[in-house]
Copies of this chain bind each other. A is one copy, B any other.
């Protein structure tokens, strides 16, 4: 799984932005439209609800061979045997996460600046998430957006695969792809759209055009 990781169009879920539609609905539509990897991110639900959601998405994605990545909660990732874990700078340390997840699982790490990207070069993470590229209302980031210049700087020094996240949509996605990132992660550009499948298809087309 770790060798042929396709980060092209990376969907991060957000229940609050999904306009009352279930994760299962959004994810199924998004994958039909061209999403290549899915991250389940939940902050305000019980462990039981998180577990049930993750199990349900695993049932949906495994047959389609689309990896499911769990945000932060390594216990949920282990419980459902998810394909991987995504950690941020205030989650479990990478070394601990790798020890518990095992060497065959995907682990992604968010980096918010050049210094963190350099540190990540010392780790055998499967990808880094560059976050946030632009300012966004999805996540209350206290970090300054990287902007295109910051993304380019990180691409220049990182040894890892990269996915860019934060404020991307069909209008700015081409400029971000031109920096050399391996993929684009989106939340509202898919989950909040009237037709998530169509939205994913349009984004995927733009991404593949730039690859």
Contact = CB atoms under 8 A, between A and B. Distances in A.
B91 A79 contact: no
Interface string A80-121: 000000010111110010001000000000000000000000
A42 to B, nearest CB: 13
A96 B51 contact: yes
Contacts of A79: 74, 92, 96, 100
A71 to B, nearest CB: 10
A157 interface: no
Contacts of A91: 46-48
Interface in A56-76: 72-75
Nearest to A46: B90
A49 interface: yes
A90 B49 contact: yes
A89 B51 CA distance: 13
A87 to B, nearest CB: 8
Nearest to A85: B75
Given A51-B92, A75-B78, A78-B78, 8 more contacts: A47-B73, A47-B92, A48-B90, A48-B91, A73-B75, A75-B75, A75-B92, A75-B100
